[in-house]
Amino acid sequence: MSTESRSPLELFEIAYDSEGDAYSDVLRELHWSGERVTFEIARAWAFDPDELRRIVGLDVLGQLGIAQSARRSHWPHRPETIELLRRILQDPNVPLDVLESAIVSAGHQSARALLHDVIAFVDHPDDDIRSAVTFAVSSLRVFADDDGDLYPAAPEIVDTLIHLCADDVAEIREWALFHLRILEDDQAPNESPGALAAYLAGVEDEDEDVRLEARQALEALGLRSEPRIGRLSRPMTRRRRAHRRSRRR
């Protein structure tokens, strides 16, 4: 369905009834608008009694105004969005799917103020929540505060990713290793004890994709002579999954 000449509210309603690529396309159009009316609708939906409306509202808020500036600190309505996300993240009664969307949106906002609210869920019993934390923490590795300055990743981000490298779910371990490696590469490769221990444990993992990700991390650190790397004879073919939440209806 074409969304041309549709009002923001009509686009929200289309998103509500959409899934997959169609949902992503409508979200993209709403994200790029950045209009105040879009924010007001998204804010209202984020607290609607209808759980799916809450998810749509939060998904819109996560990247609202992305076309206005490459700097997230300059996105319109950002302070209000961050405060709204904090309220939801601190709500002990928030439904799981809504919480998941709030965590992902917090990652998109890349706001220093939300770091500890996100990390609080690192040991949540729901796999999808921990997966969302993995994404969000990786997105928070460089902060863009309201003054426009960029800050290095906080030590808590490194510690959280290392912790997630030992998660019960293989896909979470894989992505945690990937983001930890990228984090290390961005700041300068090093052999910090925690990161190196995670990589070395990874090459012994029962899951092939986790092993391959750990191998790539060790090679990036110049540890090609590590004996355990040689045990992996297959080419590097790490899964290229879309690291984002699948909408559940």
Taken in order of first residue, the domains within the chain and their CATH numbers are 152-244 (1.25.10.10)
> Quick one: average pLDDT of 124-147?
82
State residue 223's pLDDT score.
62
State residue 154's pLDDT score.
76
**Residues in CB range of 153: below 8 A, 6 or more apart:** 140, 141, 142, 143, 183, 187
**Residues in CB range of 104: below 8 A, 6 or more apart:** 58, 59, 62, 132, 135, 136, 244, 245
State residue 110's pLDDT score.
82
State residue 222's pLDDT score.
73
Tell me the average pLDDT of the chain.
82
Q: How far apart, in whole angstroms, are the C-alpha atoms of residue 56 and residue 122?
A: 24
Which of 26-35, 45-54, 173-182, 183-192 shows the lowest per-residue confidence on average (mean pLDDT)?
183-192
CA separation, residue 101 to residues 51, 129, 237 (Å): 11, 9, 29
State residue 73's pLDDT score.
63
Q: What is the pLDDT of residues 228-242, one digit of tens each?
A: 555 543 444 444 344
State residue 65's pLDDT score.
80
CB 125 within 8 A of CB 155: no
Q: What is the pLDDT of residues 180-229, one digit of tens each?
A: 887 755 554 446 788 899 999 999 999 999 999 999 888 877 765 455 55
State residue 186's pLDDT score.
56
> Quick one: average pLDDT of 121-139?
95
Pairing of strands 143-144, 150-151: antiparallel
Give the H or E element holding residue 144.
strand 143-144
State residue 1's pLDDT score.
47
Higher per-residue confidence, 4 vs 124: 124
- Residue 55 confidence (pLDDT) above 50: yes
* pTM score above 0.75: yes
> Quick one: average pLDDT of 135-161?
72
- Residue 98 confidence (pLDDT) above 90: yes
State residue 217's pLDDT score.
86
Which of 7-21, 56-70, 97-111 shows the lowest per-residue confidence on average (mean pLDDT)?
56-70
